[in-house]
A and B are shown apart, each in its own frame.
Chain A
Amino acid sequence: MTDENKGTTPETRGRDSGPPLADDAPASLANVNAETGAPVTKEEPVFTEDGEVEEAVGNTEVGKCCSEALVALGRAARSFLLYEADNKAITKFLEDLRAKIHMYLSRYGDMVLTVRPWEMALGREVVYVNRDRERSLAFRLFRDGVRKVTLGKSMAWEELSKFLGIISIRYKGIRQQEDDVVTLLWKAGFKNITIVAVEGFIPEDEDYIDQQDRGMLVRGIFHDGSRAFDQPAPELAERGPLSHVAVDPARLSELTAETTNLALPNQAVSLLREVLQTASDPAEPLTLEEARTTIDEIRDFLLSEGLLTHLLSVLKLLKELHFRTEDEELQETLIGAFSDAKALSRIIRSVPPGLRELPTDLIDLVSAIPGDRVQLLIDILGQERSRHARWAVRSLLAHFAADSLDYLVELVGLLDGPAPGDLLLVVADLNMAKAFEVAMTIDVDAEHELLSTAMGIIERNAYSREVALKLSQFLESQHADIRSRSLKVLVSKRERWVFMAIIQRLERHHTSGIEPHEIEELATAMVQIWQTRALDQFQRWIKPKGLFRRVIQGQVNLKWAAVHGLAMIPDKSAAKYIQMVIKDSSGQLASYAEECLTRQRSLTGGAGNG
């Protein structure tokens, strides 16, 4: 590197760094000593993963402040070992790091650190010590060749987080094939972070370029001149005019656009196309087996990005090309890997939520899957939990399972979980009449999703006595929404036999086991179905006669239902009975009864005050 900063010219590397941390006070600052401005020693020690305390060190206020910042840096870097990257714990560590670094830089300026195997020093003062190989920030940096670190006063958060990323990668023990710490630091192009690192080792006596000795020992075409050959020059017969022509910057921008991450998927596909075409060329020695790792890696990349169009183009190519006989089995395996349950699940999960229609590429991709597509989709449906992913699978099944209706119907009765409900929806898409038949066979104790789907189908179909019977079963469902929907339908049809069923339900749950809104719903239904009988029943609940008097008198839910229902009946006696409840009750029931009385009076214009 030509200069210590490694940033060289800003326009060549580096990034838009944002405002300096020192100027950008974060919302959460460590408590500050009012006199010295140094952070107050924490009330709680900072624990490492095993409960071991990692304390800040330092003899001076500057040293302690620096130490706090370094402990925070080490902790943040280690956090990726313990937590998933999106965990809130990591967010807290990052916030803490930012705050501590800001504290130091804003007060004391540049942080210039010497890195030793187990410690770091600020000038002569040791500001970080940790002798644990796995946890020590100093050891990690030293091991990777870093000998000095300067965090400049103007350092922005973006630079610090980039630096943190490089350290975190090494904390995770990742050793990349393309980069090491030195090249990562070079790439980062830091403007306000200076690293002095060892870049390898050189002989002490500097006469290390000895080509002759090397040539003797390292045979190879690069050094072995005996392998005399030279490449042929291209044959370009005609000449054109040479002149300086200014190049439009927009055209250059188009070129640099090809170097961004956005261009990578297309490039990956191009590479795969090149590889597959080479492997299919009988004149070439490259086999599909040799290409397999590359194919798998690119496939996994495309899957992780959910790039349907790209996956599809690769899959088509894999299917269309003819490989050697000995590669054919592998060809099938590779095709399968693009579209097995795991791959397809990933693709389906990447379908954006809120779509109304499936992307045609997804349909085409599934079309390209060999074997039993329907079963594959059903398997995925059994595992998927996200709503939009299940919508996608249902849509695919509706597309592909038209000939498998009976099979789907059979599975509705066999599977557990939410899948049967989804399958019933698919059946409804394909053949509503069949779906209705199935819905009518669903037991009241079935899973909620299936019940709900069945309910929806029944609601959409013509009413009949059989439907009424089914809904009467659903009135006994353990799910409140199913009961409610069933009741609505029955009430709309004025089925008087339901009246007794409602009374029975209320009387079964006379003191508990039913929510107020359901009580009110049932009371409303009674009035809608049979007002005169309802009036009578409500009165009996409020003022029971005869043998049941004592039994019914304390039953709050019944009175609640009664006052609610009476509020809907424009009859003088209704108000009178509501007033009885007000008089004889207290608490919530009394309050509710007062509300009901108000409503009832508004029906009658204020008359009927009993």
Chain B
Amino acid sequence: MADDIDRAQQQLAQDIADATSGEDKQLSLKVRELGEQLARLLSGLLRMARMHALTNAAFDAPVSQFRGILRELWEMLGTVNLVCVEDQVYVNDVRIRFEMSAEHVESLADDLARHGVGGISFNQVLEEVDVRKLVELFHELPPEDAPPRPTLQKKLAEAGMVSMELHGLFRFKVQDEVARSLDRDYALLYTMAVAVVGEAFTNISADRLPNPIPVRRMINELIDAAKLCSTADLATDHDRTFTPLARHTMMVVDLSLLLGKAAGLSDEVLADLGIAAAFHDVGSAMTDGGYPVPYERHATAGLRALMRQRGFHQAKTRRLLAVAEHHNPFESERGRPSLFARIIHIVDDYDLMTRNRPNEGPVMAPTDALARMIKVSGTVYDPVLLQVFVNQMGMFPPGSLLALASGRTVVSVSGARSPETFAKPLCHVLRREDGTPARKGTYVDLAEEDRIFKLLRPRPERATGIDNPKTATSWMPDR
């Protein structure tokens, strides 16, 4: 038993040492300190407004201080989120310890809550006149005949403060609630993830310190939710209203997690992989001297941006490597890329070849993309990982358009369900034998019936004598 205690003590020491090396203590202390000042000043200003007119000189100093602190926080973190939840105050996920009495916390929360506001996002720095206006508007009584928060938001916009966002009342989110929401729809989670990753991109592109924790939490949820999903769920572009970069990033995240899991990576490692995938193209959001970074340098631009995060951590090391190397070939005189980079390289290129581009459609069919990748397996792509990926996606990955022998036109909605059904996916019927649109929700399992006549391609494909469906006409599918 003494050995168990010794081992535990050594492991505890190591864990604490690792945590310490991954800390950016300066940043943490600074955020807490400034956040506390910000919240206290706002609370104080709102209380003063009950007693004095806003033109009173007593407001000058605290208004100026508020603006200064907001600027400092914004320059460090980007959007500053001040949230009152139950009896706590948070600034950008950091819980503020009030040295004052709880009465001040309650007062701030009450002043916001009477307008139906639980939190404020400051997306830009405010001028002093804006701060006074903010205090004035919060001091006013909310309307009796209109919803208070939208009314206040509108007044702020009319006063020129379009960069401020008012949020409704909050409550703590407890874990088992998350399970219930995820049961509904992976697509919903995908949408939430876009918001979180997008905010991270925005902050990083504005030269602020990267903060991976919100993204990590999101990725953890995706990993757990993916256990209930099929390959097709993960390999589907859930929302085409998002920008190309957003859709591509999320697809790379999803497919990286799919490939990583199939390769046997643990959840803990998958979480790190997911974050690396989320940030793999962050360099595309950067600018160089005010101009967009050229595509050829987006990897190093991403590396440069993410290096601003301080603290040594193995996840960070692997993430930076992945961002820097994700276009490097498997065999290279620069050495073999890291594991995460090799995974992301495969799924990144796959998506770039198969995604539906605005006004263009996909470059090629998924089958052709995989076939081309297999040809350079071992030189451009990691052969083991690529084969795992092919085994998961099947001969006709989700999204493949097929003409069946029966005359039906279908789209694949499954990956390979087994080695035996590698080339026989489950399909959603688009058109009947006679060419008319099929009833919604009609499926055909090619493992059970019918057979593939032809792979329908978006563009002419040169056949090279391999046993794949021969050239089709150029065709833009009507989905």
Contacts and interface: CB of A to CB of B under 8 A. Distances in A.
A375 to B, nearest CB: 31
A236 B174 contact: no
Interface in A181-226: 182-183, 186-187, 189, 195-205, 208-209, 211, 213-214, 216-225
B41 interface: no
Contacts of B317: 264, 267-268, 271, 298
A240 B304 contact: no
A245 B175 contact: no
B358 A228 contact: yes
A259 B201 contact: no
Contact of A241 (B19, B199, B202, B374): B374
Interface string B92-133: 010101000000000000000000001001010000000000
A175 B174 contact: no
Given A233-B352, A267-B338, A90 B9 contact: yes
Contacts of B391: 244-247
B352 A234 contact: yes
B5 interface: yes
Contacts of A268: 317
Contacts of B311: 176-178, 297
B390 A178 contact: no
A464 interface: no
B198 A223 contact: yes
B54 interface: no
Interface stretch (B44-52, B261-269, B404-412): B261-269
B372 interface: yes
Interface stretch (A161-169, A328-336, A339-347, A593-601): A161-169
Contacts of A208: 167-168
A242 interface: yes
A230 B169 contact: no
Interface residues of A, number: 122
B16 A174 contact: yes
A232 B284 CA distance: 12
B307 A270 contact: no
A231 B5 contact: no
Given A3-B179, A4-B176, A245-B391, A187 B464 contact: no
B174 A256 contact: no
Given A98-B5, A182-B217, A222-B197, A199 B178 contact: yes
B174 A85 contact: no
B375 A240 contact: yes
A243 B422 contact: yes
Q: Is the interface of B mostly helix, strand, loop or mixed?
A: helix
B268 A245 contact: no
B192 to A, nearest CB: 7
Interface string B10-49: 1111011101111111011000000000000000000000
Nearest to B421: A244
B162 interface: yes
A16 interface: no
B315 interface: yes
Contacts of A158: 4, 8
A227 B284 CA distance: 11
B248 interface: yes
A198 B174 contact: yes
A585 interface: no
B371 A202 contact: no
A118 to B, nearest CB: 13
Nearest to A297: B312
A122 interface: no
Contact of A174 (B20, B201, B289): B20
B417 to A, nearest CB: 11
A217 B163 contact: yes
A12 B270 CA distance: 10
Nearest to A177: B311
Given A86-B13, A203-B170, A222-B245, A256 B265 contact: yes
B384 A255 contact: yes
Interface size class on chain B is 35 or more
A91 B5 contact: yes
A94 B9 contact: yes
Nearest to A133: B97
B466 A240 contact: yes
Interface string A235-265: 0111111111111000111111011010010
A133 B195 CA distance: 35
Contacts of A13: 266-268
Contact of A2 (B15, B16, B213, B228): B228
Interface string B237-277: 00001111110110000000000000111111101000000
A4 B285 contact: no
Nearest to A204: B169
Interface string A275-297: 10010010111100011011001
Contacts of B267: 8, 12-13, 187, 189
B71 to A, nearest CB: 18
A180 interface: yes
B230 interface: no
A218 B224 contact: no
A404 to B, nearest CB: 38
Nearest to A3: B179
B236 interface: no
Contacts of B212: 177-178
Contact of A203 (B167, B198, B377, B388): B167
Contact of B16 (A85, A261, A285): A85
Contact of A187 (B243, B268, B370, B385): B268
A95 interface: yes
A394 to B, nearest CB: 31
B457 interface: no
Contacts of B213: 177-180, 183
A27 interface: yes
A231 B246 CA distance: 12
B377 A2 contact: no
Given A85-B9, A209-B191, A271-B324, A217 B243 contact: no
A177 B93 contact: no
Contacts of B414: none
A297 B317 CA distance: 10
A157 B16 contact: no
Given A165-B15, A238-B375, A267-B317, A213 B165 contact: yes
A520 interface: no
Contacts of B198: 218, 220, 222-223
Contacts of B216: 178-179, 183
B281 to A, nearest CB: 7
Nearest to B311: A177
Contacts of A195: 175
Nearest to B171: A204
A274 B325 contact: yes
B428 interface: no
Interface in A134-150: 143, 145, 147
A540 B296 CA distance: 102
A236 B123 contact: no
15 contacts: A9-B227, A27-B1, A164-B12, A165-B12, A176-B311, A178-B315, A196-B175, A203-B118, A214-B195, A231-B281, A236-B372, A251-B384, A275-B303, A286-B303, A293-B310
Interface of A: 1-4, 6, 8-9, 12-13, 18, 24, 26-27, 80, 85-86, 90-91, 94-95, 98, 133, 143, 145, 147, 157-158, 161-162, 164-165, 168-169, 172, 174-180, 182-183, 186-187, 189, 195-205, 208-209, 211, 213-214, 216-225, 227-234, 236-247, 251-256, 258-259, 261, 264, 267-268, 270-271, 274-275, 278, 281, 283-286, 290-291, 293-294, 297-298, 300-301
Considering the complex of A and B, which 4 residue pairs feature the smallest CB-CB distances, nearest first? Answer: A85-B13, A240-B375, A220-B202, A222-B198
